[in-house]
């Protein structure tokens, strides 16, 4: 397998490339899940790449949205989004949740106008994203102020 080049980042280009690879390799019968980031080109409810792939295959697929996108929230251009993300991470740290948890697919708000509105976090157990567990409180706070990724990972919070 390889990572094919796309002409652009639109959902149509992404879906078309997957259709092309599927036709070339005959993978349709073996595809049961989608692993994707939560950008609009993937999850837009009418024309997102995920919807197009499900329509192409004529069946629903398990959606595995990537949790690493807490970093995207921490680097968002809007300060209030970075602060929102920091508050959620700090609240999860304060709970000292267990290391293992049952995977549950949350309900999505398909009427959301921004990606941070996709999930109603009030109704879900809050756990810290694994990728932020090695970042100190101070480094996370600095990341919110700067809007830039941290370079120092600390195994002790």
> To which residue do tokens 């996709």 refer?
118
Q: Are residues 95 and 78 in the same domain?
A: yes
Record the pTM.
0.44
31 close to 64: Cβ distance less than 8 angstroms = no
Burial 81-114 (b: 16+ CB within 10 A, else e): bbbbbbebbeebbeeeeeeeeeeeeeebeeeeee
Q: Are residues 79 and 24 in the same domain?
A: no
Instruction: Report the distance separating Cα 61 and Cα 48, nearest Å.
Output: 14
- pLDDT of amino acid 88: 78
Render each residue's pLDDT in the chain as its tens digit; 157 residues.
Answer: 556 788 888 888 988 998 898 888 888 888 888 777 766 667 677 788 888 988 999 988 877 666 556 667 777 777 877 887 888 788 878 876 566 556 677 777 788 777 667 777 677 666 777 778 788 899 889 888 887 776 655 444 4
Burial class, 143, CB count within 10 angstroms (exposed 0-12 / middle 13-18 / buried 19+):
buried
In a domain, 153, yes or no: no
Q: Are residues 79 and 94 in the same domain?
A: yes
Which of the listed residues 65, 90, 111 is the one where a domain comes to its end? Answer: 65
Cα gap 132→16, rounded to integer Å: 34
Q: Are residues 79 and 59 in the same domain?
A: no
- Tell me what pLDDT residue 116 has: 67
133 found inside a domain: yes
Q: For residue 121, what are the domain limits?
A: 68-146
In a domain, 18, yes or no: yes
Domain annotation covers residue 45: yes
Q: Do 40 and 91 reside in the same domain of the chain?
A: no
Do 24 and 82 lie in a common domain? no
CB 39 within 8 A of CB 114: no
Tell me if 152 is assigned to some domain: no
Instruction: Answer yes or no: do 128 and 80 share one domain.
Output: yes
User: Measuring CA to CA, how many Å separate 36 from each of 31, 57, 70, 157?
Assistant: 14, 17, 14, 29
Tell me how many domains the chain contains: 2
**Is 73 in the same domain as 42?**
no
* Residues 21 and 84 occupy one common structural domain: no
**Same structural domain, 82 and 137:** yes
Last residue of some domain: 65, 87, 106?
65
In terms of Cβ atoms closer than 10 Å to its own Cβ (0-12, 13-18, 19+), residue 139 is middle
Q: What is the pLDDT of residue 154?
A: 47
Q: What is the DSSP letter of 114?
A: S
Within this chain, do residues 29 and 59 fall inside the same structural domain, yes or no? yes
Same domain for 15 and 83?
A: no
Task: Please check whether residue 26 is in contact with residue 9, taking contact to mean a CB–CB distance below 8 angstroms.
Answer: no
**Which residues, in sequence order, are CB contacts of 16 under 8 Å at separation 6+?**
none
Per-residue model confidence (pLDDT) at position 155: 46
């Amino acid at each position: 397998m390889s990572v094919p080049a796309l002409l652009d980042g639109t959902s149509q280009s992404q879906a078309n490339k997957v259709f092309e690879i599927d036709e070339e390799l005959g993978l349709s019968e073996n595809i049961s899940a989608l692993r994707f980031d939560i950008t609009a080109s993937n999850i837009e409810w009418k024309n997102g790449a995920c919807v197009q792939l499900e329509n192409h295959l004529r069946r629903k697929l398990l959606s595995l949205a990537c949790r690493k996108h807490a970093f995207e929230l921490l680097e968002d251009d809007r300060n209030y989004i970075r602060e929102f993300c920091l508050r959620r991470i700090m609240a999860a740290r304060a709970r000292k949740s267990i290391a293992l948890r049952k995977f549950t697919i949350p309900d999505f708000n398909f009427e959301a106008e921004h990606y941070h509105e996709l999930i109603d976090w009030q109704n879900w157990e809050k756990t810290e994203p694994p990728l932020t567990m090695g970042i100190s409180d101070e480094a996370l706070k600095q990341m919110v102020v700067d809007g830039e990724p941290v370079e120092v990972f600390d195994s002790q919070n």
